[in-house]
C-alpha cells in the first residue's frame, strides 16, 4: 500500500453521547484531516476549550485546532441552513475556518421539508422512535429512494432548482394527506432560504475520497469521526429505535470514499456508565431516584435537543458487542469523574430473560432486549476527586480496578481516560 499515513476511526460504543467530541478534539492536535462519515445535524459534540464551550453539530470538532482540514463525507446528510449557522458562529467566535472546511460533492442535502416530515411522521406514529426531529430519516429515505439532492447538483442551477421543486411537491402532498397542510407556507419560505445558500455551499464542494487518499499517500494523519453510537446503527443497533445510517466503523470507509484497508486503527468511546436519549430499551437503566441523581451528576441532557438522557450502569454486554462489530483496537473511557462520589458501582455482566436463560451476547431482537434483566456485578467506589489526575498512577486504586475490569470484560485495551470536560483533563494510558 503506497504511503505511510495513518487513518483512525473514532466511533461511539453505546447509544451515542459518549463524549466523542472531546476525544476527537484531543486527538486532532496531531491530525491533518478530520472527516465526518455519516449522520447530520442530529449529532451534538460538546468541546470545552479553556472557559469556552463549543457545541458542534455537523462540522468536525477538529475545526478548533488551527490548520486541521475538516471534511463532511458523502455519508452525511447536510442540513444547509444549520451548517452555515454553525460555520458563521465559529467565525464570530474567532475560529479561522477559511479554506479548512470541505463538503463531499456526493453528500446529500437535508432540506427543510425533511425536518417537517420527520416531526409529522413521529407525531402520527403508533410506535414512536424518539427521533430528534431533525429530518435525518426522511433525508436518508430520499437518498435510498434515488430522489435525493446532492451537492454535485449545485453545479447546474436549473437541475438543482428542478430537483428541489420536485422534492418540495412530494413533501407538500404528504403533509396535506397527513392533515398538516397549514405548515406549507412557512415551509416554502424555509426552502428558499436553503436554496439561496446553494452558491455558498458549492464553493466548499470537494472529493473527500481523493483528499483523504492523497493525505494518506503523503504520510498524513487522518481521523474519521462518527456520530451517534453503535447501538443506534441502522443494521447493528436496537432496530427500529436507531438512526438511519451506519454508525459503526465499517461505515466510515463508505461514508468518506476510501477503501476499508486504509483504516489502521479504530478507537471506541464509552462512558464510564451508560446513557440513552430517545425511546427503546436500556437494560442496565436505573430506577427513577438513581436516574435523576446520575443525570444531575453527569449533566446528562442532549446537546442537540436538550432532552434528558436515561442513565444506567456500564453495560459490558453492549460494550463487548461494540468491540466486535467495530473491530476496536483501543477504548477511550469518558466521564470517569462522574462516579467519584458513588460508594458502589455496578457493571452489567449479562442479560437474563424471564424464562431463566442468560447470555453475554447482545441480542438482535430488540423487543426481547426490552424484557431482559441484567446481572449486575457490584464493585467498590473510590469516593475521591479524580478531576486533577493526569496519569493512571494518580487515580485511586479502586478507580484503576474499575478500569481494569472494563478492559477485561470488553477484551480491548484502554488508551485514554477522561476525568473532566477540559482538554487537559484526560489521561493517556501508556
Which residues belong to the active site? 17, 45
The CA distance from 421 to 49, in Å, is 9
Q: Kind of pairing, strands 77-79 and 69-72?
A: unpaired
Nearest-10 Cα torsion for 307, 424, 330, 45: 30
> What residues are paired with 422 via a beta bridge?
48
Q: What is the DSSP letter of 238?
A: S
- Give 134's Cβ-side CA count (13 Å radius): 22
Cβ atoms of 373 and 352 within 8 Å: the answer is yes
Alpha-carbon distance of 113 to 125, in angstroms, equals: 18
Q: Are 44 and 303 in contact (CB under 8 A)?
A: yes
Judge whether 336 and 22 are in contact, CB under 8 Å: no
DSSP element (H, E) containing 11: strand 6-12
Question: Minimal CA–CA distance to 342: which of 295, 382, 287, 313?
Answer: 382
Place of cell 475560529: 95
Q: Residue 221, SS3? A: strand
Helix (H, G, I), strand (E, B) or coil at 26: helix
Give the other-Cβ count within 10 Å of 127's Cβ. Answer: 7
| Cis peptide preceding 240, ω within 30 of 0 | yes
Distance between CA atoms of 197 and 204, rounded to whole angstroms?
11
Question: Do the Cβ atoms of 228 and 12 come closer than 8 Å?
Answer: yes
Spell out the residues 6+ positions from residue 265 whose beta carbon is closer than 8 angstroms to its own.
Answer: 6, 7, 8, 9, 329, 330
Longest dimension (CA), the chain: 66
How crowded is residue 402: how many other Cβ atoms within 10 Å of its Cβ? 23
DSSP annotation string for 177-209: HTT-GGGHHHHHHHHHHHHHTHHHHHTTEE-HH
Query: Could you tell me if 39 and 243 are in contact, meaning their C-beta atoms sit under 8 angstroms apart?
Result: yes
Q: How many CA atoms lie within 13 A of 325 on its CB side?
A: 26
Amino acid at each position: 500500500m503506497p504511503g505511510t499515513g495513518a487513518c483512525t476511526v473514532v466511533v461511539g460504543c453505546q447509544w451515542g453521547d459518549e463524549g466523542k467530541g472531546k476525544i476527537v478534539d484531543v486527538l486532532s492536535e496531531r491530525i491533518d484531516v478530520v472527516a465526518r462519515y455519516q449522520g447530520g445535524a442530529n449529532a451534538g459534540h460538546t468541546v470545552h476549550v479553556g472557559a469556552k464551550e463549543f457545541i458542534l453539530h455537523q462540522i468536525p470538532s477538529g475545526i478548533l485546532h488551527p490548520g486541521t482540514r475538516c471534511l463532511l463525507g458523502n455519508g452525511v446528510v447536510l442540513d444547509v441552513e444549520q451548517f452555515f449557522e454553525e460555520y458563521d458562529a465559529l467565525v464570530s467566535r474567532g475560529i479561522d475556518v477559511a479554506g479548512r472546511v470541505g463538503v463531499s460533492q456526493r453528500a446529500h442535502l437535508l432540506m427543510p421539508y425533511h425536518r417537517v416530515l420527520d416531526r409529522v411522521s413521529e407525531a402520527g406514529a403508533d410506535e414512536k422512535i424518539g427521533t430528534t426531529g431533525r429530518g435525518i430519516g426522511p433525508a436518508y429515505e430520499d437518498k435510498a429512494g434515488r430522489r435525493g439532492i446532492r451537492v454535485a447538483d449545485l453545479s447546474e442551477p436549473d437541475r438543482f432548482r428542478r430537483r428541489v421543486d420536485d422534492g418540495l411537491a412530494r413533501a407538500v402532498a404528504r403533509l396535506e394527506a397527513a392533515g398538516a397542510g397549514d405548515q406549507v407556507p412557512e415551509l416554502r419560505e424555509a426552502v428558499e432560504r436553503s436554496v439561496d445558500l446553494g452558491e455558498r455551499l458549492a464553493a466548499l464542494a470537494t472529493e473527500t475520497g481523493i483528499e483523504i487518499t492523497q493525505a494518506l499517500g503523503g504520510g498524513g494523519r487522518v481521523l474519521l469521526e462518527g456520530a451517534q453510537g453503535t447501538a443506534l446503527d441502522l443494521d447493528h443497533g436496537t432496530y427500529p429505535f436507531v438512526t438511519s445510517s451506519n454508525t459503526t466503523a465499517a461505515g466510515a470507509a463508505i461514508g468518506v470514499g476510501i477503501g476499508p484497508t486504509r483504516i489502521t486503527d479504530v478507537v471506541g468511546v464509552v462512558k464510564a456508565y451508560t446513557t440513552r436519549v430517545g425511546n427503546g430499551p436500556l437494560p442496565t437503566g436505573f430506577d427513577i431516584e438513581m436516574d435523576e441523581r446520575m443525570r444531575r451528576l453527569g449533566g446528562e441532557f442532549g446537546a442537540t435537543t436538550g432532552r434528558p438522557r436515561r442513565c444506567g450502569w456500564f453495560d459490558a454486554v453492549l460494550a463487548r458487542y461494540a468491540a466486535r462489530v467495530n473491530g476496536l483496537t483501543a477504548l477511550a473511557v469518558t466521564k470517569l469523574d462522574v462516579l467519584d462520589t458513588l460508594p458502589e458501582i455496578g457493571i452489567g455482566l449479562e442479560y437474563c430473560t424471564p424464562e431463566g436463560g442468560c447470555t453475554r451476547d447482545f441480542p438482535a431482537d430488540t423487543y426481547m432486549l426490552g424484557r431482559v434483566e441484567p446481572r449486575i456485578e457490584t464493585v467498590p467506589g473510590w469516593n475521591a476527586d479524580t478531576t486533577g489526575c493526569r496519569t493512571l498512577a494518580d487515580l485511586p486504586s479502586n478507580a484503576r480496578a474499575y478500569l481494569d475490569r472494563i478492559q477485561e470484560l470488553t477484551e480491548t485495551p484502554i488508551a485514554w481516560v477522561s476525568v473532566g470536560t477540559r482538554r487537559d483533563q484526560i489521561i493517556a494510558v501508556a
